[in-house]
Copies of this chain bind each other. A is one copy, B any other.
Amino acid sequence: MIKLYNTMTRRKEIFKPREGNKIKMFVCGPTVYDHSHIGHARTYISFDVIVRYLKYSGFTVFYLQNITDLDDKILKRAEELGSSPLELARRYEEKYLQDMKVLGVENVNFYARATEHIPEIINQIKILVEKGFAYETDKGVYFDESKFKDFGKLSNRNLEELNVHRIGPDTSKRNPGDFALWKKRKIESDELEMVWDSPWGTGRPGWHIEDTAITDTYFGPQYDIHGGGLDLIFPHHEAEIAQMEAASGKNPMVKYWMHTGFLNVKGEKMSKSLGNFITINDLLQEYSPDIFRFFVLSTHYRSPIDFSQEILQQSQQGLQRIYKLIETINELLDENTSISMDNDQEYIYKLSEIRKEFFEAMDNDFNTPSAFSTIFDIIREVNRDINDSNISKNALTKLKALIIEFGIVLGFDFSLKNKNEPERQEDLIELLKDVRNKLREKKEWDLSDEIRSKLKEMDIVLEDKST
């Protein structure tokens, strides 16, 4: 039984999809105007593990993400770089998908581009205008926040509180918090790209409408889970609720709202202006994807997480302890020596308890740090018993299987099978070079030349420093 924290109700609830064991889940995708950063990586790895666990628990998940490929940021950046906005968006979209693949984020079923849902967006705006929730001005079409009584229910603020935070009065709007559904093209400007015809003239959609147009298309007006970063609750997710519930008349749009905490860099917010902006590219120059995944999962997905070299190195060490244990187990299983069976029954029981604890931690709002600590508890114990030669091959085999299973749930390959292959190949080549050098010292030219030519057949060319 999975319990998850619902931002809407501000408490943990027993998870039950709207229909049978089918889950329809949407997570806000990136605006593709620049390289993705480690904050994105944190969010998408967190939801990747959540989806992995939901599937592992027997649910079917339709995981949908949007790709924001028509934002003002894209236009601005395209102008800076002197490229076409759409080409720029496609380039960064591809980069994003590559980054996700490298990070092992692979459970999204469909990526829906905003630019490919303009008719659906226009249709939703039309409905909102017809129902009186939206109005047209010289500048565009706006959602009238005063018409939607539930406005603010997710962030738990009333209209007055909400409006205090809005900057600058826009005289064309009825209320300060009204937000754009459609932005009309400025007549004086020379915008020729990323504009579409609509009943309100040429222009482009506002920031919030693509998500609800997309979810309505693939899920209908009501679905199970909506996820995203904490910073999206207000105004973005409030606006989504207003748009969809007003348009459909159905309530609630989403049964469970899930939000990931902030990622800070050495205690500070990550931002370009602070100069502490770290892209996924930057990250992967220094650390492997599994170290970063371990780092992300060492903190609960809703808590803030602090990125620093020290913590990443701790993550590396933590992960290394797991790999090391599997290596040790493999070695022990390969050896012919028999090891004590004294505490075998005890271990079988202990492992089933560990498994229970692991899944209890995951059931408890996907508490990955707590799931990891069950792994480290057993590692400590097993290492001691290995040192005392006090654990059987049977228990070791079962432990290995258990850790591999935990890896599957969390997105790690603890089987170590393919992992070592490229490394091993390097080691084999090194050994051959070494042997060959020793043969050359001994003036065993026949054999050393044979090694050289056989390696050449494998496209491995040895360069001799001096002959």
Contacts and interface: CB of A to CB of B under 8 A. Distances in A.
Nearest to A455: B431
A415 to B, nearest CB: 14
A21 interface: yes
Given A60-B116, A431-B432, A447 B438 contact: yes
A427 B22 contact: no
A275 interface: no
- Report whether over half of chain A's contact residues are helix, strand or loop; otherwise say mixed: helix
Given A20-B119, A62-B218, 6 more contacts: A22-B116, A109-B110, A421-B421, A435-B435, A435-B450, A438-B447
A428 B425 CA distance: 8
Contacts of A424: 425, 458
A234 to B, nearest CB: 31
Contact of A119 (B19, B62, B118): B19
A80 interface: no
A243 B20 CA distance: 24
Most chain B beta-carbon contacts within 10 A, residue among A20, A60, A117, A428: A428
A451 interface: yes
Per CB-CB distance, the 5 closest pairs between chain A and chain B, nearest first, are A428-B428, A109-B110, A22-B116, A109-B109, A431-B454
Interface residues of A, number: 39
The number of times this chain is found in the oligomer is: 2
B60 A459 contact: no
Contacts of A204: none
Contacts of A458: 424, 427-428
A435 B422 contact: no
A429 interface: yes
A330 interface: yes
A334 interface: yes
Interface string A301-334: 0000000000000000000000000000011001
Contact of A421 (B20, B109, B422): B422
A118 B432 contact: no
Most chain B beta-carbon contacts within 10 A, residue among A422, A424, A455: A424
A122 to B, nearest CB: 12
